[in-house]
Amino acid sequence: MSSGLVGESRRSVAVVLGTRPEIIKLARIIQLLGDRATVVHTGQHYDASLSSSFFEEHGLADPDVQLGVGGLRRGGQVGQALADLDGLFDRHRPDVVIVQGDTNATLAGALAANSASIPLFHVEAGLRSYDSAMPEEHNRVLTDHVSDVLCAATKLNADNLALEGLADRAVITGNTVVEAVARQLPAAPDRRGVLERYGCDDAGYVLATIHRPENTDDPEKLGDILRALGACGRQVLLPLHPRTRGAIERHGLQPLTDGLHVVDPLGSRAFLALANHAALLVSDSGGVQEECTVLKRPLVVVRNSTERPESLERFARLVQPDALLGAITEVLEAGPEHLAELADLPSPYGDGFASERIVAHVLRIADDDREVEA
């Protein structure tokens, strides 16, 4: 563990994160906090293509503290990060801790803050899939129940929290993904350059990402997904997450990728540029379910369940792998008319000022605590 945490009085907000989506969604919050933020990376995502490159791309300095839990199983990641954070907060106690989402890093940061009685903000609180088979569901529920301020992205998220007796801790802020997309989407000439680099025709291709264990750990499901992508009749660009690449090799499914344009993981700007012009997105990512509503592109979600039903109202549909080809065909046949309908719809995730609202709440709590101590 590198101990870059410093004890100056103004570095009072610890931002604990561990994965690519957390970097994306917390980047604006970190920037707004300025020198009051201390960024702690647990190392859950440790591949450069999923971690360090995203700090640079989002205009962030390297993390102040880098832990080393990557490669451990879920229990080991949470346990090791909790122990490291407990010691860190004992040596350099922050005024506030911020966590985001539903990762192992989120849960470890939440438990460490709660153990030390440090005010805890949960960004993107109140999401529920009601699917107990998802580790993320347990992470987000546990984090919500130990948090002091619950930053709910939507009214539905706030309603979920109210059903669990947490209404008095919740505030509706919008989702930081809206400003993340607005800030990271390249201008039109730069987007054209990205499309040319990957050999994609404007609005004629499918962009797919698959990484969740429910799909990658099951060779039948992963095979169904790859077969559907290969049979859809369109160019398919498939950035491969390291987990997915390993699963394809382990299950002997390499022949099913022969007709697909397989590339390494994409940075935020390249992914958004390609997503912005795709005829269809196919993914099991939670973040893509939100991003599609800002980009106004249709999405087929390949999962058992989703914690983002707001996206399913107009922008996305949820299917199992064995029904993927039919869903892809339906959306593509709807063509430009469907894209025109989506273009006029507002995103259900807010107006692009979630980070400002969250930081205002954070600094109010941090400064109030300082005044009490003084």
Give me the active site residues, please. Answer: 211
Dump the DSSP string for 289-309: HHHHHHHT--EEEESS--S-H
d(CA 278, CA 200) in angstroms, rounded, equals 9
* Residue 77 · residue 44 · CB < 8 Å: yes
d(CA 108, CA 86) in angstroms, rounded, equals 9
**Bridge partner list, 16:** 40
d(CA 354, CA 52) in angstroms, rounded, equals 24
d(CA 122, CA 217) in angstroms, rounded, equals 30
d(CA 184, CA 69) in angstroms, rounded, equals 29
Q: 72-103: b or e for each residue (b if 16 or more CB lie within 10 Å)?
A: beeeebbbbbbebbeebbeebebbbbbbbbbb
End-to-end CA distance of the chain: 32
Question: Which residues have a Cβ under 8 Å from the Cβ of 328 and sit 6 or more positions away?
Answer: 206, 228, 229, 232, 280, 282, 300
Residue 84's identity, in one-letter code, is D
d(CA 205, CA 301) in angstroms, rounded, equals 17
Closest CA to 212 of 141, 303, 118: 303
* Residue 181 · residue 288 · CB < 8 Å: no
